[in-house]
Amino acid sequence: MKVLAEQIAAALGVGCAGTVELTPGRTRRALKIDTGDASLFVKLLPAGRTEMFAAEMEGLALLRDTGCFRVPAARGCGTAGDVSWLALEWLDLKPVSTDEDGRAFGKALAALHEVHGELYGLPRDNWLGDSRQENGTSTSWPLFYAQKRLRPQLERLIAEGMRGELISNLQGIVERVPALFLEYRPAASLLHGDLWHGNAAMVDGQPAVFDPAVHYGDREADYVMTELFGGFPISMYASYQKSAPLDAGAASRRGLYRLYHLLNHILLFGSPYLRETERTAARLLSELR
């Protein structure tokens, strides 16, 4: 790892006073590089994934420029030997765990969602975890969500050989998505896009986010994502609702926004997420009929 760290440091024009290989996450290895002046957090993937890291840098910059959250500054990305790498400033992260943390995070998230774009989506594709997330832009959020979020997942599942009730239910849902938006026209809010508690933290008392799948869309999508896979302190939701109350019909779209992330987890991690996804899809289609 020392040689790799030195190659990365040289590409960035900084020193390499030391390096530590960090405990790997589900899909990524990472290094901490001491430059002598500061520390860097460096993500590693197999060579050929620089496009993925370039998209992540763009998403981080969009979030950072709003000033709503503490967001790690990207120092650069590239290829060294048989790996692609992304270097970020090192942040000392603490979990969003206390009521005070939750209130601060909810207020920051509401402020982020007040940053609006002219169109839904994003000009370039990016990644949701290790899944490519199709973007492009649209003037219609329901059509964008059906065609750029749910349909690509449906097609991937079919290509991987899945058949049965989940597939037929998804086909019905994709056709009926606009029915959930007959009286609701969401603003094109800037979304983190993958906002579970593992991509959020506190840094020196300030809410922080990272690992985004940024695009412009319905703020309810981010809100619902925070409820998945462990969630945040209850105070976060109360704080958000106080700052930016959700539409009265938000509950009717909760299953729709859960479904996207559950499907992605099936594609990434397989059967452990299948039953919950099947239940969510069946319930949603029943409500849409």
pLDDT tens-digit map of 164-207:
999 999 999 999 999 999 999 999 999 999 999 999 999 999 99
231 confidence band (pLDDT: 50, 70, 90): confident
pLDDT at 65 over 70: yes
Cα angle 249-178-120, degrees, rounded to a multiple of 5 = 90
For 21, the enclosing helix (H) or strand (E) is strand 18-21
- Give the pLDDT of residue 230: 86
pLDDT for the residue 115: 98
Cβ contacts of 98 within 8 Å, gap of 6 or more: 233
Q: Residue 212 in 3-state DSSP? A: coil
Mean pLDDT value across residues 80-108: 97
Q: For residues 41 and 71, is the Cβ–Cβ distance under 8 A?
A: no
Backbone angles phi, psi at 120, to 5 degrees: -85, 150
**CA–CA gap between residue 237 and residue 248 (Å, rounded):** 15
State how far the Cα of 238 lies from the Cα of 243, in Å rounded to an integer: 9
Q: Flag whether pLDDT at 100 surpasses 80.
A: yes
Residues 7-26, mean pLDDT to the nearest whole number: 89
The secondary structure element, H or E, covering residue 220 is helix 219-227
Q: From residue 175, how far is each of 94, 143, 153, 224 by CA, in Å?
A: 42, 9, 14, 22
Is the pLDDT reported for residue 25 higher than 80?
no
Q: Of 101, 194, 211, 218, which residue is the catalytic one?
A: 194
pLDDT of residue 28: 77
Give per-residue pLDDT as tens, 233-256: 999 999 999 999 999 999 999 999
- Mean pLDDT of the region 75-87: 95
pLDDT band at 289 (very low <50, low <70, confident <90, very high): confident
CB within 8 Å of 168: residues ≥ 6 apart: none
Mean pLDDT of the chain: 96
Q: Does 143 have pLDDT greater than 90?
A: yes
Q: Is 37 a catalytic residue?
A: no
Whole-model pTM: value is 0.95
The tokens for 60 are: 């981080």
Averaged pLDDT for residues 65-87? 96
End-to-end CA distance of the chain: 56
Q: What is the DSSP string of 242-261?
A: HHSPPPTTGGGGHHHHHHHH
What tokens does 79 get? 């290829």
pLDDT value at 102 more than 80: yes
Calculate mean pLDDT across residues 126-141: 97
At 46, is the secondary structure helix, strand, or coil? strand
pLDDT at 149 over 80: yes
User: Which of 1-5, 64-68, 156-160, 244-248 has the lowest average pLDDT?
Assistant: 1-5
On the question of pLDDT at 23 being above 90, the answer is no
Question: Cα separation of 146 and 16, whole Å?
Answer: 47
- With a cut of 90, say whether residue 63 has pLDDT above it: yes
